[in-house]
Amino acid sequence: MTSWLRAILGVRRRAHASAARPRLDGIEVRVGGAAFAAMRSHVENFNHGEEAGFLLCGYALAEDRDVLLAREWMPVPEQHKVRRGRYGLEWTPALSALVLARADALDAGVVLVHSHDRRSAPGLSGDDRDTAERMLSGFSRLLGRPCGSVVLGNDAAAGVFYRDGQPAGELSFIRVVDAPLVFWYPTVMAKPGRARRRLDRQNGAIGRLADAHLAAASVAVIGVCGGGSHVCQQLAHQGVGRIVPIDDELVEEVNLGRMIGATPSDVDRTPKTAVMRRLISAIDPEIHVEEIRGRFPEEKTLAAVKTVDLVIACVDSFLVREQVNAYCRRHHLPLIDIGMNIETEDEVLVAADGHMIVALPGSACLRCTPLLSDAVLEREKRAKPPGYDLNLDALGDPQVVSMNGVLASEACNSALDVLTGYADATRGAAWWGYDGRRGELTNCGSPPQRRGCPACAEQGFGDSELS
Amino acid sequence: MDAEIRRQIVAELADAFGEAKDVTPEDRQPLHVLLPTLWIPSPWKPSPARGLAKFDGWPDQRPLFWIEMAVVNREGQAPRSNNPQLVLGETWRQFSFTFSWPIDPLTPKHALLRWLTRFQEVT
């Protein structure tokens, strides 16, 4: 089958860097909330028998896990169905060829998706496995990407995958990136056990289930000084199970006015990430703190960011913010960004404008709006060329600890929403403006995605394959 | 930039520098060209190294160039005046130096040669 497809389409077998890696068991499929809803509404409609579709996916390797990142959904259209009954669906070879050609054009893997009528423990039938082995193992060899077949049930999903024509393991879970994050495992997860006593009051407010979600969650905080130190402290109090502080600097004397947890004895000797470890561990020694002493986008920081559920950016550069945003888009990572701009005239504060943004797959990203326009980025490139921040005589931006704290607290409310869904879909992806002079925090809603946005153009691309 | 101009730029860079590949993420985006075998002046190594070029607003605007992070001198030190920058999902070295624009002759090949000359002078 694969040889005739190859002949017709002119698709040559691809070799990707990922293909050389040792085989790993277990594959994650990651998809945005709106895309998942569209997928479900198609395959869970049994009015005319079974339905199916193809999810074309980018690829990333996150620590020890293969991740397939949804890029495009191709439902099986009516004109390509050749037989349908209550059970089973077949489609024309021409559709298989179209799917393969499209996946090749996108440099994507293929996941065949269908539903088993909301079973709590879905499983691939014998026919499903035959189809996967016959078609998708061949696709995986041609495309050089993991390909597989997934069946959806009732809040649960199962699947099987191939890499280079060989079995590559089962589906670990589907991660639906929305507010809240949702995970569909092969069987519905058991109810959580005993909640943490120290979170008794928070559990009283948002429920014991939130405790379990938070304990299993991991959050990267990029930049842990003015805003990020507040964020780390609150994430620890909230009970997030794994926190990844990322920063490459030592504590300086001028940081003591705004960095939570820093003391005079840390000045010029303690990495900011080490202060965060101390701060977090003092609140709860059970929290796993993974210090990354580096600057985004150094490779170790990229590798660490890929492994988390949520990224909170607390950086003071638009250029770095742009890169964090682009990386999160590529990997379907939810991003919360905070920033503060204070202007003074003769040491009198005339403006204190801040923002807090939650960007989810399918919503506007930071680059969709004037916050990260070409003009803003160009201006910063001119004002702060490479190496600028290594100049000890350069003036730092003015900051006020309490104003940073307002934005950080609201960012942690959004983190709680993304990780637990406590706000019941009333928050989600949106922009907040903050006026530190007047004390006003305003929810401005979510702007539309910008056509031609360079970051959204790379949504779901995953790891770079330029090597 | 229409498809024919994109194709010409890639072909010219391939002809001059050995290999060039259009890696633009989608049609609406500025042309990105990967140069897998770009000659880098001594003492920098590895040479050839991978380079990346972005043609945004060509020919009115100067193209942007990056080189791979692995490029170092004999002592293992990185070139001066650079920042790591994420482009197309990968970290590259971006440099603060620039060169006058427009150049004569105004071709993609000469733009990259001018950048390489500046790279040699500055680093």
Query: Does residue A237 form part of some domain?
Result: yes
Give the pLDDT confidence score for residue A120 in this predicted structure. Answer: 77
Give the residue from chain A lying closest to B30, CA to CA: A454
- Does residue A63 have a pLDDT over 90? no
Domain final position from A184, A215, A249: A184
Residues A339, A432, single domain; the answer is yes
Query: Does residue A189 form part of some domain?
Result: no
Domain final position from A154, A184, A214: A184
Name the band, by pLDDT with cuts 50, 70 and 90, for residue A285. Answer: very high
Domain count, chain A: 2
Question: A126: domain CATH number?
Answer: 3.40.140.10
Residues A265, A388, single domain; the answer is yes
Residues A230, A85, single domain; the answer is no
Query: Does residue A73 form part of some domain?
Result: yes
Q: Do B88 and A451 touch (CB under 8 A)?
A: no
What is the DSSP track for A323-368?
HHHHHHHHTT--EEEEEEEEEEETTEEEEEEEEEEEE-TTS--GGG
The overall average pLDDT reported for chain A is 91
Residues A173, A205, single domain; the answer is no
**Averaged pLDDT, A325-354:** 95
Residue A301's domain spans which residues?
196-458
Percentages (nearest 5) of helix, strand, coil residues in chain B = 25, 30, 45
Query: Does residue A14 form part of some domain?
Result: no
Residues A52, A112, single domain; the answer is yes
- CA A203 to chain centroid, in Å, comes to 25
Give the pLDDT confidence score for residue A18 in this predicted structure. Answer: 42
What is the DSSP track for A134-175?
IIIHHHHHHHSS-EEEEEE-SS-EEEEEEETTEEEEEEEEEE
B67 part of contact set with chain A, CB < 8 Å: no
Q: Rounded to a whole number, what is the distance in Å from the CA of A463 to chain B's nearest CA?
A: 6
Residues A287, A168, single domain; the answer is no
Give the pLDDT confidence score for residue A188 in this predicted structure. Answer: 79
Which tens digits make up the pLDDT trace of B18-55? 999 999 999 899 999 999 999 999 899 999 999 999 99
Q: Rounded to a whole number, what is the distance in Å from the CA of B89 to chain A's nearest CA?
A: 5
Query: Does residue A2 form part of some domain?
Result: no
Query: Does residue A69 form part of some domain?
Result: yes
Task: Write the ipTM.
Answer: 0.89
Residues A257, A167, single domain; the answer is no
Looking up tokens 């395959």, which residue turns up? A43
Question: A353: domain CATH number?
Answer: 3.40.50.720
Looking up tokens 């979170």, which residue turns up? A199
Q: Do A302 and B94 touch (CB under 8 A)?
A: no
Distance CA A276, CA A278 (A): 5
Q: Return the residue in B28, B52, B67, B83 with the most chain A beta carbons within 10 A, the one to mutate for interface testing.
A: B83
Residues A57, A88, single domain; the answer is yes
Structure tokens at B92: 């590259």
Q: Do A463 and B89 touch (CB under 8 A)?
A: yes
Q: Do B91 and A297 touch (CB under 8 A)?
A: yes
pTM of the model: 0.92
Count of pairs with CB atoms under 8 A, one residue in A, one in B:
62
Considering only CB atoms, A330 lies closest to which of B29, B69, B89, namely B89
Give the residue from chain A lying closest to B26, CA to CA: A457
Residues A322, A209, single domain; the answer is yes
- Does residue A17 have a pLDDT over 50? no
Domain final position from A162, A184, A206: A184
Query: Does residue A20 form part of some domain?
Result: no
Query: Does residue A290 form part of some domain?
Result: yes
